[in-house]
């Protein structure tokens, strides 16, 4: 289903879509290098503070399948504005948190608000540009968006000694307010562009989406591709700070390698997805991931951070090739439920990420091996997902994302 013509006057500024998408990942990553220090500040264990990341992922995973259908039924704009308000409330709670438990709760609220941008920016792109260009443009937006989480760990590592960790959350509160005002002024409703008709969303109609094996295949691929990343995020700060004995700022420095890899992968998606097809880009991304995993096993005993960050940069390239294409493919199966597909696939993606981060956080003791094992398992399962999506009997007539014509 190609849907109606997309009038250019409804297209929001690309930089606005970048900002909407970036605020959630930035908020998630900015406190990662602070986790060992937060544990000392609140007088609790690293495992408890690691729940600030887990809670963020779980809350995002729980909220995304709600936000997507809500946007299909009530519109992208009101759901997004409500999400930005919730993000501001969560940032306020974090900034004034007296205990680790309150901080964890505030992070969950932040995640719900951040998820609205992550889900709906992709859906707006699909609405206004259509299925043929969605994967390429999602790739470009993600490539540019990754600049924010690229600098986020470094900002967290530098700001905390200078102004304290609470200043980070006050800044996020202000950023949410500015972004909300920008959306009020500039973002117009695009829901009516997603298909020939705007579908009423309920459990019965969504069964049509759930019954597509291809949808679950793409979702599994997305989830375990992200599982590699979140396994690393959960374990790498511990490896760098506790195993290697380096300061938290070192994590931020080396994380730039990962962000550059992810940006390059998204550049490849933006440059080639429309030409060669989303499925081929996903398969190529899985092959690149296997190269990164092989390097990770080869360098696992290397006593400097580059031994884990350089292989992870290869895996980040694969994620940049896989995630935009998998997302666009999942949404294209039933265009009238594009918001729901984005939300549900995103929920599966982040549920798996949260699950892998909990496992890795619980198993980290004195080496990087638990993290590497979890990443390897995720890579294999991600490849299994695309095999399911590409099976000849994958759906009842759902379109395959092959070479563009």
Scanning the structure block, which residue is given the tokens 């395959």?
400
Indicate the average pLDDT of the chain: 80
Give the per-residue pLDDT at 203: 62
Give me the mean pLDDT over the 259-271 stretch: 85
Domains defined along the chain, listed by start: 8-389 (1.20.1250.20)
Alpha helix segments (H runs only) across 299-368 = 306-332, 338-363
Give the per-residue pLDDT at 127: 78
Within 10 Å of residue 208's Cβ, how many Cβ atoms? 15
- State yes or no: pLDDT of 405 exceeds 60: no
Higher pLDDT, 35 or 77: 77
**CA 51/CA 236 separation, integer angstroms:** 15
Which pTM was predicted? Answer: 0.69
Task: Calculate what percentage of the chain has a pLDDT beyond 70.
Answer: 86
Interval 109-160: pLDDT, tens: 999 998 888 778 878 887 777 766 777 777 777 666 666 766 777 777 777 7
3-state secondary structure of 397: coil
- State yes or no: pLDDT of 162 exceeds 70: yes
The secondary element (H helix, E strand) that includes residue 373 is helix 369-389
- State yes or no: pLDDT of 10 exceeds 70: no
Residue 20 structure tokens? 């909407």
CB 229 within 8 A of CB 394: no
Interval 227-241: pLDDT, tens: 998 899 888 888 887
């Amino acid at each position: 289903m190609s849907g109606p013509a997309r009038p250019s006057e409804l297209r929001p500024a690309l930089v606005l879509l970048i900002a909407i998408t970036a605020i959630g990942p930035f908020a998630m990553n900015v406190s990662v290098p602070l986790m060992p220090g937060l544990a000392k500040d609140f007088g609790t264990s690293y495992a408890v503070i690691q729940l600030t990341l887990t809670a963020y992922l779980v809350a995002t995973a729980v909220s995304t399948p709600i936000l997507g259908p809500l946007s299909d039924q009530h519109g992208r704009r009101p759901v997004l504005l409500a999400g930005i308000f919730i993000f501001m409330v969560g940032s306020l709670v974090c900034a004034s948190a007296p205990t680790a438990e309150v901080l964890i709760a505030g992070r969950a609220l932040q995640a719900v608000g951040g998820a609205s941008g992550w889900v709906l920016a992709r859906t707006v792109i699909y609405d206004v540009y259509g299925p043929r260009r969605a994967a390429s443009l999602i790739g470009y937006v993600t490539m540019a968006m990754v600049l924010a989480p690229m600098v986020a760990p470094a900002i967290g590592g530098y700001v905390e000694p200078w102004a304290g960790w609470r200043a980070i959350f006050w800044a996020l509160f202000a950023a949410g307010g500015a972004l909300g005002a920008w959306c009020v002024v500039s973002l117009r409703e695009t829901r009516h562009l997603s298909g020939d008709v705007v579908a009423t969303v309920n459990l019965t109609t969504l069964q049509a989406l759930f019954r597509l094996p291809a949808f679950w295949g793409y979702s599994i691929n997305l989830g375990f591709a992200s599982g590699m990343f979140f396994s690393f995020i959960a374990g790498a700060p511990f490896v760098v700070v506790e195993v290697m004995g380096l300061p938290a700022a070192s994590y931020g420095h080396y994380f730039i390698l990962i962000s550059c890899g992810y940006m390059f992968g998204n550049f490849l998606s933006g440059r080639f997805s429309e030409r060669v097809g989303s499925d081929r880009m996903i398969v190529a991304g899985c092959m690149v991931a296997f190269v990164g995993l092989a390097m990770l096993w080869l360098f696992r005993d290397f006593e400097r951070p580059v031994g884990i960050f350089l292989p992870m940069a290869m895996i980040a390239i694969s994620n940049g090739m896989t995630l935009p294409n998998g997302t666009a493919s999942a949404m294209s199966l039933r265009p009238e439920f594009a918001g729901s597909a984005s939300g549900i696939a995103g929920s599966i993606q982040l549920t798996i990420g949260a699950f892998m981060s909990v496992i890795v956080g619980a198993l980290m003791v004195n080496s990087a091996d638990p993290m590497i094992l979890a990443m390897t398992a995720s890579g294999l399962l991600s490849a299994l997902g695309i095999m399911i999506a590409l099976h000849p009997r994958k759906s009842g007539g759902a379109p395959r994302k092959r070479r563009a014509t």
